[in-house]
Chain A
């Protein structure tokens, strides 16, 4: 036991050394330096005001705000004896009883194409999930534009992934939003970009490592501040989007938001909307998206009982009850 602990201790110390080495130069930069670097090379740091009630009431009269989110449940055991259930929900602040819910599922037991090589297993499942989930999310948004005619749609997560995962449907959504004048934004809790880090490497050629925005921005913005990323800095990202970072809650993490570039003029307004809707003691996600998230989430138990009810008992047990389930 002690030997085991000692091995682990060594590994943790190693990790600490590696991170210190990698981030030493960055961690040495003080807040002032980082902020002025950002101001000079990435985009303006700016203080936001929350929207007032009158402004929000105007949004309400123009169709309200829609939030879109998806969920995944996995039932069963190891490959290929499982099924993944996807759900998407578009929920409007003004159409309480008109939620748009779409669902899809995936199981390796049944595939449209033959892809059974085990080494691809993980990638295939990921692809499937991304594709199916993104598609129903986008479809839910499309239906919402048609039915709810909202002022703006907040997608949970960045917009860029739809480009890859559900390209055709996504294009339709973009066009529809542009036509109808519905503002379309994505809210990113976990930003994965390295816009600032790339700029640092570019400016200081001695730096070889890639630093991510999430780590760099931690604690660097004040509550209610945002960075509008200038086009030049953003150029490495896929074309067609404008992005900002903002600190929307008292937590030191920073979240991201993107918008289709034809609607760039609304970027600040939308950042303020997100700021307004985010509880100060939260991780930074606007409450409306939290609400949609909670509502789209179904418990595994619920899904299981549904499968029990709507599948032949024999089939369900043969394919989807894992050893672990049986033990319980």
Chain B
């Protein structure tokens, strides 16, 4: 506890000049103001201001009697009790440089400023000045405090970062700043972006020309449109993970995949095998299948039933009908999402080139896709490192970071999910291979606790929910006092608790250079999205018009071949009817049935 004549603010640094031991450096953890002449309530009321004004006119400013009481936590424990009456002063920059700045600007991520260090920053080295702006109510503010530079290299010892904070507390904005810094350093990074907000193509409106062009540094890829899973490359385990992510698998279903899935299967070969098996199973018995073979109308039909019979004989016992149907249903669901329509080549290339790859998709699709993607990439990197170790050869694959918002959806506490097992593995072993996580969530309580425990650096933004504050108190070294402040933090202010720093730093995230393209009104967005879809669909079918209703199956097949987009007959008919409703095409009745035409 120190009584001071200088005003102190919380998290400010002070040096206590104890005459009997070396200067002691401490951080203010509690600050109070007290004026003994203005006892706030002694006679039931405040001293009226006019009296204070009068004293001022007489030459006495009572504010000068204000004393500041600060509770100071020493950075290193003192060997002896501190001498009472020791002087206290604000340190010089050089005296705190080592504890404030752990990395050069070239090697670290300049995320913001350390709050309440403006006094220290005055005699700071030039290399740390004018690095950034903060964005406040009044607009852009030039940097006048010590920069907070996250030491990237230290991730090798203290891997993985957590970003916690309630909705609107500045998490996404903070992640954006982190990602901008990673791009500046050309760090290969995968971002899972369920909000479609991590686009860096747009300069923030407040930045004017003070920005950096990131266009060549990142790529936004949508699952199903730009990237997907190449079915032919899947292992049975990959496939099971994917299907499981679509919807939970029973043991029996897992078994079905193990039995029916053959290496190098295509989506169609696997699908057909299951389809034929179920058709055979629907017949009910070998006798009835034989019957079908014998009564076939033509050779093709005979051949088809012969195939079905073989499948039935091989698999009916081990693959129960319902389980096979379950796999079919899940497979179709993934297929309809476009998961199997592309591959991850573009992602791999991007990482090889030190780019930031943003994977966009709904949370559900990302859960599915990331499971496959992350284990794939992680194992490529691992294989490479292991090969180095064993002195064999493997293709180079770079170290990389994985960044995701809403991390509790990918690694939920309390139940298993495929994406969780790969994230867990990386959280525990990734350090060895140079694969690191940055996980953001507004619900730290819902994030898998094993993973949370592996997050060595935590950025904690405003948090209001009591259960989350509790989790934070348990999982970080924030003091009770700091936890008490959590609900009142300003948007963009953050406690950074890091094993590397050995203490908590109170910082403000800098102004991002870019902005999320999320400016579209969601209803405008719906409209323009459906217009886009319609155009796409019309493009596909225009050349095929007129289409008779008996040809629908044929047309669906053609479309699938040409565009990789799968329509069922019902789907296709539904879409054609919509186009008629919107007056894009016409529908007429003929003696053979309906016909759609231009």
Contact = CB atoms under 8 A, between A and B. Distances in A.
Interface of A: 50-51, 53, 56-57, 59-60, 64-65, 93-94, 96, 276-283, 287-288, 290-291, 294
A162 B404 CA distance: 82
Contacts of B48: 279-281
A64 B58 CA distance: 6
A288 B463 CA distance: 46
B59 A93 contact: yes
B51 A51 contact: no
Given A96-B64, A283-B43, A290-B37, A278 B57 contact: no
Contacts of B36: 294
Contact of B51 (A65, A94, A96, A277): A277
A290 B65 CA distance: 14
B57 A287 contact: no
B37 A57 contact: no
Interface string B48-59: 101111110111
Contacts of A283: 43
9 cross-chain pairs, A with B, having the tightest CB-CB distances, nearest first? A56-B57, A281-B45, A94-B59, A93-B60, A93-B58, A60-B59, A279-B47, A93-B59, A53-B57
B58 A60 contact: yes
Report which residue of A53, A279, A280, A283 has the largest number of chain B beta carbons within 10 angstroms of its beta carbon. Answer: A279
Nearest to A282: B43
Contacts, number: 61
Nearest to B46: A281
Given A93-B60, A279-B43, 4 more contacts: A51-B54, A64-B60, A94-B58, A287-B37
Nearest to B61: A96
A287 B43 contact: no
Interface in B21-53: 36-37, 43-48, 50-53
Contacts of A50: 50, 54
A277 B55 contact: yes
A309 to B, nearest CB: 12
B66 to A, nearest CB: 13
Contacts of B59: 60, 64, 93-94
Given A283-B43, A291-B37, A277 B57 contact: no
Contacts of A277: 51, 54-55
B60 A94 contact: yes
A206 to B, nearest CB: 41
Contacts of A96: 60, 64
15 contacts: A50-B54, A51-B54, A53-B53, A56-B58, A57-B57, A60-B59, A94-B59, A277-B51, A277-B54, A277-B55, A278-B51, A279-B45, A279-B47, A279-B48, A281-B43
A93 B44 contact: no
Interface residues of B, number: 20
Nearest to A249: B43
A288 B48 CA distance: 13
Contacts of A290: 37
Contacts of B55: 93, 277, 287-288
Contacts of B45: 279, 281
A282 B43 CA distance: 6
Contacts of B64: 96
Contacts of B51: 276-279, 287
B46 to A, nearest CB: 8
Nearest to A250: B45
Contacts of A53: 53-54, 57
A281 B57 contact: no
Nearest to A64: B59
B44 A281 contact: yes
Nearest to B53: A53
Nearest to A65: B58
Interface string B408-452: 000000000000000000000000000000000000000000000
B302 to A, nearest CB: 108
A310 B2 CA distance: 25
Contact of B47 (A51, A65, A287): A287
Contacts of A280: 48
A93 B50 CA distance: 16
A281 B36 CA distance: 17
A66 to B, nearest CB: 10
Contacts of B47: 279, 281-282, 287
A61 to B, nearest CB: 9
A22 B290 CA distance: 131
Contacts of A60: 57-59
A276 B53 CA distance: 10
Nearest to A52: B57
B48 to A, nearest CB: 5
Contacts of A93: 55, 58-60
A287 B53 CA distance: 12
A96 B40 CA distance: 23
A291 B50 CA distance: 16
B42 to A, nearest CB: 9
A277 B57 CA distance: 11
B53 to A, nearest CB: 7
B499 to A, nearest CB: 43
Contacts of B62: 291
B41 to A, nearest CB: 10
Report which residue of B46, B50, B52 has the largest number of chain A beta carbons within 10 angstroms of its beta carbon. Answer: B50
Nearest to A151: B58
A287 B62 CA distance: 11
B43 to A, nearest CB: 5
B85 to A, nearest CB: 13
